[in-house]
Structure formats: structure tokens, C-alpha cells
Amino acid sequence: MEIEQLKKQIEKIEGSFKSNLSGQKDYRDILYYEGELLKAKVEKEFKIPLHQLSAKLGDNSDPEMGNHGHKRSDYVLAWEKVEDSFTFTLENIKRGKKLKLVKCPPVFFPYLSKLLPIFIEEMATSA
């Protein structure tokens, strides 16, 4: 198979993945908050550990996220420039792995979408 054919197949798979996710309210919420920050031209990098955001909801537990044994305290949520645009990212600080929020495992979306309003509030009040 040629490289161009492979690229087209990858794009098709990614498009299918995105269309399947677009039906999820949590995924749409993430896109909404990201879009609002982009529209407002918020270009200030900000990051905060997930467990701190959870504490603002009154949840001080530290459960696993996903199925790889990593806990909330292992992750940092950020608004930062990736390539040419700002976006939400989620970083596993133990592994040093960072993903755009929209590319995280869908099992994370319900929890993360709840935290975004608090994240934005914290970002707005930080100096």
C-alpha cells in the first residue's frame, strides 16, 4: 500500500471516530468550552492537577482513571498552545504523556466535562 492510501484510510478512521463521539454530550461539552475560549481569544497558558479541581466539587477521593492503574492525582488538565492553536490537554505526569483532551479515551469525557467550568473559573481568577 502506498503512503497516500494509508493516509486516506487513517483520515477515514479518524473521521468515523469523531462522528461516533460527536453524539456524546460530554464530548460536545468539551468542544463547546474549547470553542468559547478560542472565540474569546484566551491565549494564557494554565494548568491545574485534576485532584485539585475535584476537591472544588467536594470530591477528595483519588480513584483510578481508565484501566491502567493511574489515579486522578497523576493527571494535570491544561489550556495550552499545541502546534498553532490553544487547546485543552490532559497530561499523565507519571508517564510524561500528554494528549489533546478531545483525543483522550472517551471513558474520561464524563468526568472531564464536569471539571471544565471549574477549570475555566480557576483560570479566570488566577493572576
Q: What is the pLDDT of residues 17-57, one digit of tens each?
A: 554 555 588 988 999 999 999 999 999 999 999 999 999 98
Cell 505526569, located at residue: 93
Residues 6+ apart with CB under 8 A from 89: 77, 78, 79, 80, 82, 98, 99, 100, 101
6/22 Cα distance (integer angstroms): 24
Task: Kindly report the pTM of this predicted structure.
Answer: 0.78
Residue 71, classed as helix, strand or coil, is: strand
Domain boundaries, the chain: 3-125
Task: Grade residue 61 by pLDDT with cuts at 50, 70 and 90.
Answer: confident
